[in-house]
């Protein structure tokens, strides 16, 4: 006879992990991703602690020891003004990291949220704002950055907000495109049928699904932003001298490249290891979330 009310018992034990925990599991198995993450963490640690352990005063000039090659005393040698290149290279990322990290967070948050909202509205407002976004994207980015910074000055908060604004425009497009995949899905339809407010739909239904895409895109953009900021410094619109900075160091020492290449190599190695690290990490992260967890990861 029929057993109308049976209990569904657990037949196979399932590891209950949140999607985020599972992403981490996948990421941990990728050596490239872990190498990238190590490089990023190392750079952040160096930037945070270097003032306490660098061997020389990065600002101390000494005409007698100009353009020395690497030695035990000066690991990367000295620059034109006799300053220790190693110490300056270690410290040279501090401003860059602070500015770009805050800026990328701002960009991802405002661009991402606006993109999700536009994807959900998908009407005339969306159409209008997207055309403005297209117009802004058609301006060469370096020109746009230079324009804003030359008008507003090279203060750190101005630079942070400028980068946050311009890179947010890129995030809008990505977030909107990712959202469009989900707005027509039944779980969003179910939320709408319940009478949920738009805010809840954006934050509870859409954001968790778009979040991963935004994080991957944000980390890629971070590496582009680092390059952009270093370029600005190279052009003299970045960090105010004499504060050590990678871009500015390259700009000042490129004419002695033949005599003391390490004055350029130092900052370049630092910058490239960071960017390579970010790229390796972003790549592995994208793959880690690409494993379709909503379908259940392989047992």
Partner 1 sequence: MSGCLVDIDNLTIGYYTQRGKLVYVLQGVSLQIKAGDTLGLVGESGCGKSTLGQAMMGYLRSGSQVLGGSVIFADQDMFSLNGRQLESIRGRQIALIPQNAGDALTPTLRVGNQIIEAIELNADISGVAAKERMIELLGQVRLPHPDVMAGRYPHELSGGQQQRVVVAMALAAEPDMLVLDEPTTGLDVTTQAHILNLLRDIVSEMGTAMMYISHDLGVIARVSDRVALMYAGEIVEDADAAEMFASPAHPYARGLLESIPRLALAGIPNSMPGQPPIPGTLPGCSFAPRCPFATDICTTDPPALEAIPGTPHLVRCYHWEDVIATDFSQELQQVFHTISHTTGDEPAIEISEVDISYHRPGLSDRLRGTPEPPATVSDVTLSVQCGETLAMVGESGSGKTTIVRTIAGLLPAKSGRIQFDDFDLTVDVDHRPMEICRNVQLIFQNPDASLNPRQNVAEILDQPLKLYFPEMTRDERRARQIELLERVRLDERYRLRYPGQMSGGEKQRVAIARAFAADPEVVLCDEVTSALDVSVQAAVLDLLADLQKERNTTYIFIAHDLAVVRAIADRVAVLYQGRLCEVGTVDEIYSPPYHPYTETLLGAVLIPDPDYEPKLLASDTPELAPPASGCAFQRRCPYCIGDICEQKTPPWQYTEGEAGHKIRCHIPIEELALLTKGQNHNQVVDLPAEDISPKLFMHSGSDMDASTSEPKAF
Residue ranges binding partner 1 (CB under 8 A): 1-12, 14, 16, 18-19, 29, 185-187, 189-196, 200, 204-205, 208-209, 211, 293-299
Minimum distance of partner 1 from residue 112's CB (angstroms): 15
ω before 125 within 30° of 0 (cis)?
A: no
Q: How far is the CB of 28 from partner 1 (least distance, A)?
A: 12
Per the structure block, which two tokens stand in for 264? 């350029």
- Other C-beta atoms lying within 10 Å of the C-beta of residue 287: 15
Which is closer to partner 1, CB of 29 or CB of 131? 29
CB proximity list for 268: less than 8 A, separation 6 or greater: 246, 250
Both tokens of residue 30?
A: 């990728």
Name the minimum Å distance from CB 123 to partner 1: 13
- Residue listed under structure tokens 């750079």: 43
Asked if 285 contacts 216 with a C-beta cutoff of 8 angstroms, the reply is: yes
Cα–Cα distance, 201 to 37 (Å, whole number): 33
**CA torsion, points 37, 76, 238, 39, in degrees to nearest 10?**
0
Could you tell me the smallest distance in angstroms from the CB atom of residue 191 to partner 1?
7
- Distance CA(29)–CA(74), nearest Å, equals 39
Q: Give 173 or 293: the residue with its C-beta nearer to partner 1.
A: 293
Sign of the Cα torsion 69, 73, 76, 79 reads negative
Pick between residue 56 and residue 293 the one whose CB is nearest to partner 1.
293
Can you say how many angstroms the Cα of residue 44 is from the centroid of all Cα atoms in its chain?
13
Closer CB to partner 1, 205 or 217, in the complex: 205
Shortest Å, Cβ 214 to partner 1: 13
Taking the complex as a whole, how short is the minimal distance between the CB of residue 27 and partner 1, in angstroms?
13
C-beta closer to partner 1: residue 32 or 48 = 32
Choice between 155 and 204, CB closer to partner 1: 204
User: Would you tell me how many other CB atoms lie within 10 Å of the CB of residue 274?
Assistant: 25
Rounded least distance, CB 111 to partner 1, Å: 20
Closer to partner 1 by Cβ: residue 201 or 264: 201
As given in the structure block, the two tokens for residue 196 are 């949920």
């Amino acid at each position: 006879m029929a057993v109308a009310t049976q209990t569904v018992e657990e037949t196979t034990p399932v590891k209950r992990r949140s999607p985020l925990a599972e992403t981490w599991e996948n990421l941990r198995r990728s050596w490239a991703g872990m190498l990238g993450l190590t490089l990023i963490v190392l750079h952040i640690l160096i930037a945070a602690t270097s003032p306490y352990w660098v061997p020389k005063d990065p600002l101390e000039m000494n005409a007698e020891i100009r353009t020395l090659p690497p030695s035990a005393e000066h690991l990367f040698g000295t620059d034109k003004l006799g300053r220790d290149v190693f110490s300056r290279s270690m410290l040279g990322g501090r401003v860059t990291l602070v500015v770009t990290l805050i800026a990328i967070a701002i960009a991802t948050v405002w661009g991402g949220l606006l993109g999700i909202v536009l994807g959900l509205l998908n009407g005339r407002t969306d159409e209008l704002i997207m055309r403005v976004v297209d117009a802004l994207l058609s301006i060469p980015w370096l020109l746009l950055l230079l324009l804003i910074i030359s008008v507003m000055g090279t203060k750190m908060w101005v630079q942070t907000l400028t980068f946050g604004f311009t890179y947010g425009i890129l995030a809008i497009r990505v977030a909107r495109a990712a959202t469009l995949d989900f707005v027509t899905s039944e779980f969003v339809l179910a939320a709408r049928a319940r009478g949920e407010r738009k805010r809840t739909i954006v934050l509870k239904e859409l954001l968790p699904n778009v979040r991963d895409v935004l994080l991957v895109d944000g980390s890629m953009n971070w590496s582009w932003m680092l390059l952009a900021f270093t370029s600005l410094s190279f052009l003299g619109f970045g960090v105010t001298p004499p504060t050590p900075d990678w871009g500015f160091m390259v700009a000042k020492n490129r004419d002695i490249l033949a005599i003391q290449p390490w004055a350029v190599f130092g900052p370049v190695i630092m910058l490239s290891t960071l960017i390579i690290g970010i790229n390796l990490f972003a790549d592995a992260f994208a793959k880690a979330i690409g494993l379709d967890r909503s379908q259940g990861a392989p047992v």
